[in-house]
Amino acid sequence: MKRFYKSAAAAAQPDGSATVLLDGRRLKTPAKADLVLPCLPLAEAVAAEWAAQGAEIRPQDMPLTRLAATAIDRVQAAPDYAAGEIVRYGDTDLLSYRADDPPELAARQAIEWQPLLDWFHERYDVQLNVTSGIVAVEQPATLRPRLEQVCAALDAYRLTALHAVTTATGSIVLGLALLDGRLDAGQAHRLGLLDELFQAERWGEDDEAAARRAALLAELQSVQQFLALLHAEG
């Protein structure tokens, strides 16, 4: 799409929210809703993405815009659906499934992942069960209600961020750890790809896999920035 505007700016609203203006007109989401954001810092960052566009608009270069639009068009409209998708990851959380071979990988998983499971237990009062190999493990009956409670307490923007991290890493533990500030994007990225990084160390790097990992890291970094800007709303 060709650039159709000259200027992009953020505008604070009397109620504390903020909008993004393109040539003085409110930016719309893909579903044609006004892009009204909860705080000025986030609106300023979204406006900066639009201002930085060249002659052609590249949506892939505007991750904050995409997250904000997803929150408004999809999550705000159907929070229970988004929460349900997140909660289901608890049953098959990446950190609950350990390798049984090679032993070096299993040891690394235990060292790197168990502290996160211990944190999750302490923070949310549910202990995830762990298994090895391909054997499925049943999680405590209290897990789903607790995760539903956690999701219900989040606004659409933070629920969007949690959904993005959880689905990208396959782990609601990593998603909540990033949301809570227990991990940063780089740490969540490394822990979510622990197996793949181990294999790359042993057998060498694959260009396609490296590019995919870089894209995932960029996505997680965008979510971390999105959360930091939301935190600045006070």
In sequence order, the 6+-apart residues with CB closer than 8 A to the CB of 154 are 162
Q: How far apart are CA 79 and CA 159, in angstroms?
A: 8
- The arithmetic mean of pLDDT across residues 129-138, rounded, is 89
Instruction: Please list the residue range(s) of the chain that carry CATH number 1.10.3580.10.
Output: 79-231
Among 196, 195, 178, 199, which Cα is nearest to 116's?
Answer: 178
User: What is the pLDDT, as a whole number, of residue 219?
Assistant: 97
Distance CA 159, CA 145 (A): 16
Give the residue-averaged pLDDT of 218-228.
Answer: 98
User: CB-based contacts of 66: which residues, under 8 Å, 6+ apart?
Assistant: 59
What is the architecture, at CATH level 2, of domain 79-231? Orthogonal Bundle (1.10)
How many alpha carbons lie under 13 Å from residue 200 in its C-beta half-sphere?
Answer: 14
Is 37:226 a contact under the CB 8 Å cutoff?
A: no
The pLDDT score that the predictor gives to residue 233 is 58
Model's pTM, two decimal places? 0.95
Give the mean pLDDT of 152-161: 98
Distance from C-alpha of 210 to C-alpha of 205, rounded to nearest angstrom? 7
Residue ranges of E strands in 51-149: 97-98, 131-132
Which of 166, 143, 159, 141 is closest to 219 using CA atoms?
A: 166
Cα(221)–Cα(219) distance, integer angstroms = 5
Asked whether 191 and 219 are in contact (CB, 8 A), the reply is no
101/98 Cα distance (integer angstroms): 9
- How confident is residue 148, by pLDDT bands cut at 50, 70 and 90? very high
Please, what is the average pLDDT of the chain? 95
Using DSSP's 3-state secondary structure scheme, residue 107 falls into: helix
Q: Three-state DSSP class for 5?
A: coil
Q: What is the DSSP string of 30-45?
A: TTS-B-EESSHHHHHH
Comparing 17-26, 155-164, 174-183, 194-203, which segment has the lowest mean pLDDT?
194-203
Per-residue model confidence (pLDDT) at position 206 = 85
